[in-house]
Amino acid sequence: DDISDCYGVRICGYYYSRNKFLQSILRCEALAISMPTDENEWEDIRLRFNAKSTKGIMQGTIGAIDGLSLILF
């Protein structure tokens, strides 16, 4: 399927809209990604990941990108 068929717009219109959306997301301070700045923030993240874990499978996880766990030892 072509982008034009899927979205009902010309390809340039799709890319224009997509880029405007992505730029808005990247400029939004509320959605900014940042690293924890102290030990308490790291511990909070660790505990929240562990709470989502089934049988401790995410124990030690402090981040995830696109559904992939990043485990740091």
d(CA 45, CA 43): 5
Q: Strand locations in the chain, DSSP E?
A: 61-65, 68-71
d(CA 23, CA 32): 12
Q: pLDDT tens digit string along 37-72?
A: 999 998 888 888 788 777 777 777 766 666 555 555
d(CA 20, CA 14): 10
State residue 27's pLDDT score.
92
Q: pLDDT tens digit string along 30-43?
A: 888 788 899 999 88
What are all long-range contacts of 43-49, with beta carbons under 8 Å and residues at least 24 apart? none
* Tokens describing residue 2: 């072509």
